[in-house]
Structure 1
Amino acid sequence: MRYFRFSSLILAATFAASSTLAQTATPAPPAVIPQQADPAVPTSASQPANPLDPLFEALKRERDPDKARGIATQIMTDMNDSGSATVNLLMQWAATAIKEKRNAAALDFLDQVTLLDPAYPEGWNRRATLHYTMGNTRKSMADIAEVLKHEPRHFGAIAGMAGILMEAGKDQLALKAWEDYLAIYPADREAQEAVTKLSEKIAGNRT
């Protein structure tokens, strides 16, 4: 139980970073957003080199936890911006609905996000979080897989996956997930602690 409690704290902390866009005032949403191509969504052909690459490299090199946390926060902030005004607005509406515990409405907004821009990792990540809080870990894991397909370095999604695996008692897989997390974000002391505790638990079960 202590392992699941620990993972839940990290899960909440990492996914909370994806709520940055919700902090601005938003107009009341319409019932349905037409599912059509958004000209503001960038196409792969016109995208420049990934601007997140230098930040992820800095995060991987940084050993000071406070400095690394600042880099991680910047990464999450940058990942929140889809580059589409429509998608960003839907994400704001979803965050507001989640805050007001209108989960069905939030799920509808996030469904539209994943349809409008399936290559936007944070849409899948936010929906994974919502599915998890609604008790549907199977759908949450499916959305996490989509996040990692588009951005394998998404440490928030990896932490979420590790937490779900810990809850399910799949310690070996959870340990692998936390090790993958630390390969991206090595200065995270809570993740280091998770690896230590899981390693000790697995070793103890073998004796």
Structure 2
Amino acid sequence: MRIFFAFLTSLLVSGAIYGPAWADDAVAPPATQDAPPVATTKQARLDQLFSDLKRERNEKAAERIAGNIWNEWSQSGSASIDLMMQWSQKAVEGQKFDVALDFLDQVVTLQPTYAEGWNRRATVHFMMKNYGKSMSDIDHALQLEPRHFGALSGLAQIMALTGHKQSALEAWQKVLAIYPMMRSAQDQVGTISEELAGEGI
């Protein structure tokens, strides 16, 4: 259990859940006559980033692409929603989980099609060990964005913590199908596969 909590904490600290430190990298340079056209819609940018992420075999380069994806996910299109997301982050950092949930309840109510709102609330529920509520929010996030490797990682952790190793393995494998160079997912697939082999599944 400590391993999973430490993993989640490292995601929070690194900004993987709450927005990458290298978010500025996601700003596309203005197109020139000689440059190829820059994807203009959020969906087009995400599709290109996911395509790049799947092909990338350099771990650090893949992390930068994943950071750009998080940057796209974090943009709700609403200044008030973005502000509530920031407030929820500060509340989590201060271990004020109930306060964070209050903000995130408002986020998902006001903008139910914003996948990152659901993912963020799932994360807070996970930290409070409300696994059922976390899984419900993960389901919402994945319905809106099936490629959300953060939400899938959360699902994998819950499955492992609740003793469903095979389901955890399958969730981590889905993560790797989207983000092949995610080191933590690679490690978990290896570890859980060995454990299941030892149990003679």
Q: TM-score range by the shorter chain?
A: 0.7 to 0.9
Query: What is the count of residue pairs matched by the alignment?
Result: 179
Match of 2:194 in 1: 200
Pairing 1:10–2:7 present: yes
Query: CA 1:97–1:7 in structure 2 vs 1: closer, same or farther (change >3 Å)?
Result: closer
Pairing 1:76–2:70 present: yes
Query: CA 1:84–1:61 in structure 2 vs 1: closer, same or farther (change >3 Å)?
Result: same
Q: Is the 8 A contact 1:107 1:130 kept in 2?
A: yes
| Deviating 4+ runs (over 4 angstroms) | none
| 1:174 aligned counterpart, secondary structure | helix
Percent identity for Structure 1 against Structure 2: 46
Question: What is the TM-score normalised by the length of structure 2?
Answer: 0.83
Pairing 1:89–2:83 present: yes
**Stretch of structure 1 that moved more, 186-195 or 8-17:** 8-17
d(CA) in 1 for partners of 2:130, 2:43: 36
Question: What is the TM-score normalised by the length of structure 1?
Answer: 0.80
The correspondence of residues 1-207 of structure 1 with structure 2, limited to 5 A, is 4-15=1-12, 16-20=15-19, 49-206=43-200
- Greater RCO (Cα-Cα under 8 Å, separation 6 or more): 1
Shift of 1:100: 2.2
Q: Is the 8 A contact 2:142 2:151 kept in 1?
A: yes
| 2:19 aligned counterpart, secondary structure | helix
Could you tell me which runs of 5 or more consecutive residues in structure 1 were left unpaired when the two chains were aligned.
22-46
Q: Is the 8 A contact 2:104 2:120 kept in 1?
A: yes
d(CA) in 1 for partners of 2:123, 2:61: 26
Could you tell me which runs of 5 or more consecutive residues in structure 2 were left unpaired when the two chains were aligned.
21-40
